[in-house]
């Protein structure tokens, strides 16, 4: 142990001013320090603790205040010190791999630095030691141990989990490397609980084939490049998300980050960026590559993407690959911290308006419903009422058949704006015919073109209507309006 300062849950300050080394094979010293006990260590799991101790030395005579009392003795000097000790844990040591045991213990001890009250309050846990056959087998220096905190804040438990995961992940990689097992393995082979941010083996991800083998099949996994300078910020923001429980059959959104230098990121991110598409209304965005346990064709949206990802993967260092849990809301809206990592400036947040007394409870209406609440055939007919029974009948059919269609109502309104009031005797019948034929927009475009040549409105309607095959009786009525 190296020198340092710790504070126990009871508030006692424990300071170690000199390096401390303990040899568990020196049983005579251990027995001497424990009054002859513990020459042998029982099989089990032990918490390694640093605890407060008092070292009493020298004898001083105490003279009584009463002449009839006898003289006594007490220690002349009491020195406050610290001791390194072992506290037996209630969990047994199972017949499992040492990696599996450590993975199981993190779920049980996550957020519990006192092992459910077993560790004394004047002690600080430094790790967990496994004893088998009277010999120490392994030491996990991250279990039960956490940094000094005044209070438990959001993300602290995830930080403890991430620290233990990174240590265990390194041991797993060393174990597989020593056995020539390769690095393409599933996380569930060694872990039960993953932090929201963590390392993963590079061989388990293949963006060229669109495959990932680290996460379960029902997880939605993407990969994207990121600047190395933005990595710490993304890690800090994602650390507040809940841990990933692999034992739950719930889908989780995960992004695998490929850190690149600023120069490489600027070059390759432009090749993966999709421009603004007015047809779908999506802003320019970085195209995330979807990875699956069993890839499906086509893997890449564009033919050039495969070559781009091959180049990106060649520049990613083996130990730098990182995954982050994607917030549920970001997964639904396709907005995440990956886009922010490009250096975009966010607008100032808009403060929500306070609800008015007429608020209906915050019900959300779509755009068409809002439009029809303000502009509809009933409202329009108040300004352009039908002039005869035929027009009133046509209006009633329009309301019944197309009253809830915002596109039709909007197109009819545009046509009404181009045709004068003196044609109201035929306008509603004409709109009904055009709406049923689904040619309102085409008719409006052709009418606008025809009127641009200073043609009389009735003549323009007859010309355009003839080209679209409207009823001859209706067109003759239009022609007769100006003739009369």
Phi/psi at 462 (5° precision): -65, -45
Judged on CB neighbours under 10 Å (0-12, 13-18, 19+), 448 is middle
The reported pLDDT for the residue numbered 278 is: 52
Dihedral sign of CA atoms 115, 120, 126, 127 in order: negative
Secondary structure (DSSP) of 180-240: T--S---GGGT-SEE-SEEE--GGGEETTTTEE-SS-TTSEEEEEEEEHHHHHHHHHHHTT
The reported pLDDT for the residue numbered 347 is: 63
Q: β-strand 253-260 against 220-227: which pairing, if any?
A: parallel
Question: Do 284 and 274 form a contact (C-beta atoms < 8 A)?
Answer: yes
What CA–CA distance (Å, rounded) separates 252 from 327? 9
Q: Residue 182: CA atoms inside 13 Å, Cβ hemisphere, count?
A: 8
Tokens at 29, concatenated: 């010293």
Say how many residues make up the chain.
484
What CA–CA distance (Å, rounded) separates 67 from 128? 55
* DSSP for residue 419: S
Question: Do 299 and 209 form a contact (C-beta atoms < 8 A)?
Answer: yes
The reported pLDDT for the residue numbered 186 is: 92
User: How many other C-beta atoms lie within 10 A of the C-beta of residue 298?
Assistant: 11
The residues, any chain, with a CB within 8 Å of residue 108's CB and separated by 6 or more, are 91
Find how far residue 143's CA is from the centre of its chain. 26
Q: pTM of the full predicted structure?
A: 0.59
The reported pLDDT for the residue numbered 295 is: 54
Beta bridge partners of 129: 46, 139
Q: What is the CA radius of gyration of the chain?
A: 39
The residues, any chain, with a CB within 8 Å of residue 34's CB and separated by 6 or more, are none
The residues, any chain, with a CB within 8 Å of residue 429's CB and separated by 6 or more, are 390, 391, 394, 474
Question: Do 250 and 166 form a contact (C-beta atoms < 8 A)?
Answer: no
pLDDT in single tens digits along all 484 residues of the chain? 888 888 888 888 888 888 888 888 777 788 877 776 777 888 999 999 888 888 777 777 777 777 777 767 676 777 888 888 888 888 889 888 899 999 888 888 876 655 567 888 888 888 899 998 888 899 998 888 888 777 777 888 889 899 999 999 999 999 999 988 888 899 999 999 999 999 999 898 888 888 888 999 889 888 888 888 888 888 888 898 999 999 888 889 999 998 888 888 878 777 776 654 555 545 444 556 666 665 555 454 545 577 888 888 888 887 788 999 988 655 444 444 444 344 555 567 777 666 555 555 545 667 888 888 888 998 888 888 998 988 899 999 999 899 889 999 999 999 999 888 888 888 899 999 999 989 899 999 988 888 888 788 888 888 888 988 888 888 888 888 876 6
Instruction: State the Cα torsion 395-397-400-404 to the nearest 10°.
Output: -60
| Backbone dihedral region for residue 77 (phi beyond 0: left; psi -120 to 50: alpha; all else: beta) | beta
Burial code of 254-267, b = ≥16 C-beta within 10 A, e = fewer? bbbbbbbeeebbee
Q: For the chain, give every domain's residue range.
A: 4-148, 172-340, 367-483
Tell me the three state secondary structure of residue 88.
strand
What CA–CA distance (Å, rounded) separates 105 from 245? 14
* DSSP for residue 348: P
């Amino acid at each position: 142990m190296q020198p340092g300062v710790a504070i126990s849950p009871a508030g006692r300050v424990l300071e170690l001013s000199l390096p401390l080394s303990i040899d568990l094979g020196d049983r005579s010293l251990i027995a001497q320090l424990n009054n002859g006990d513990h020459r042998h260590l029982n099989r089990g799991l032990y918490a390694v603790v640093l605890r407060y101790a008092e070292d009493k030395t020298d004898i001083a005579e105490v003279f009584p205040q009463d002449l009839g009392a006898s003289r006594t003795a007490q220690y002349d000097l009491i020195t406050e010190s610290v001791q390194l000790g072992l506290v037996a844990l209630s969990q047994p040591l199972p017949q499992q791999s040492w990696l599996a045991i450590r993975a199981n213990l993190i779920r049980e001890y996550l957020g519990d630095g006192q092992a459910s009250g077993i560790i004394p309050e004047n002690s600080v846990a430094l790790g967990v030691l496994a004893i088998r056959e009277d010999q120490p087998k392994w030491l996990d220096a991250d279990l039960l141990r956490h940094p000094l905190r005044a209070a438990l804040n959001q993300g602290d438990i995830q930080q403890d989990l991430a620290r233990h995961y990174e240590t265990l992940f390194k041991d797993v990689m060393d174990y597989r490397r020593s056995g020539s097992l390769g690095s393409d393995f599933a996380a569930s082979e060694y872990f039960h609980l993953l932090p929201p941010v963590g390392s993963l083996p590079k061989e388990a991800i293949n963006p060229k084939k669109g495959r990932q083998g680290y996460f379960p099949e029902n997880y939605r996994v993407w990969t994207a490049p990121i600047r190395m300078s933005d990595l710490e910020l993304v890690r800090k923001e994602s650390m507040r998300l809940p841990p990933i429980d692999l034992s739950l059959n719930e889908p989780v959104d995960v992004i695998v980050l490929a850190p690149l230098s600023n120069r490489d990121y600027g070059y390759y991110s432009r090749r993966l960026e999709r421009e603004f598409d007015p047809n779908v209304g999506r802003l320019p965005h970085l195209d995330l590559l979807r990875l699956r346990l069993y890839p499906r064709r086509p893997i890449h949206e564009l033919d050039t993407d495969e070559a781009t990802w091959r180049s990106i993967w060649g520049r990613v260092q083996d130990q730098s690959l990182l995954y982050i849990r994607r917030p549920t809301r970001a997964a639904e809206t396709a907005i995440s911290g990956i886009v922010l990592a490009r250096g975009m400036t966010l607008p100032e947040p808009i403060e929500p308006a306070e609800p008015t007394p007429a608020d209906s409870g915050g019900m959300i209406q779509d755009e068409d419903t809002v439009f029809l609440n303000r502009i509809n055939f009933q409202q329009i007919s108040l300004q352009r009422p039908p002039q005869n029974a035929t027009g009133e009948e046509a209006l009633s059919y329009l309301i019944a058949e197309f009253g809830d269609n915002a596109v039709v109502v909007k197109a009819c309104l545009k046509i009404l704006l181009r045709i004068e009031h003196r044609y109201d005797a035929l306008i509603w019948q004409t709109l009904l015919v055009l709406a049923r034929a689904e040619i309102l927009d085409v008719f409006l475009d052709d009418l606008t073109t025809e009127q641009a040549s200073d043609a009389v409105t009735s003549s323009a309607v007859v010309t355009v209507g003839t080209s679209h095959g409207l009823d001859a009786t209706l067109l003759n009525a239009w022609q007769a309006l100006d003739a009369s």
